Amino acid sequence: GLDLAHCVGTNSLGPTGPWRSGGPCKMKRVRTVFKPEQLERLEQEFLKQQYMVGTERVDLAATLHLTETQVKVWFQNRRIKWRKQSMEQKAAKLSQFRVIQPTSADSTDSKDHEEDTVDVEL
């Protein structure tokens, strides 16, 4: 939803800022706060499958009294968190091996994994 109570007034950058281009008032989106029951169900579904599409997503959204977009974005963000945790676990295992048997330090390019790092709700 949109919170219309937060309008951007005059600022030091003047009316040329990107937040002013849509009109006189910047509508700030209110962050979705999930209920514990909703989160528990979303996590259960994520354990079954990391991607939820089509009628499954529509049905889950209706069951949880959420929009389909909220469910879609929650799954996107959860996949990002899951990948990050997997990478950290792999790094921890590698560091254990390096303590036992030191090898040359390899640098990994983190940009390879940036394509799905979106934390935006529509």
Supply φ then ψ for residue 67, to 5 degrees: -85, 160
CATH number for the region 36-96 comes to: 1.10.10.60
Per-residue pLDDT of the chain (122 residues; tens, 9 = 90+): 555 444 544 444 444 443 444 556 678 878 899 999 999 999 999 999 999 989 999 999 999 999 999 999 999 999 999 999 999 999 998 888 876 655 555 545 444 444 455 555 55
Q: Rounded CA gap, 7 and 89, in Å? A: 43
Which residues does 2 contact at the CB level (< 8 Å), separation at least 6? 27, 28, 29, 30
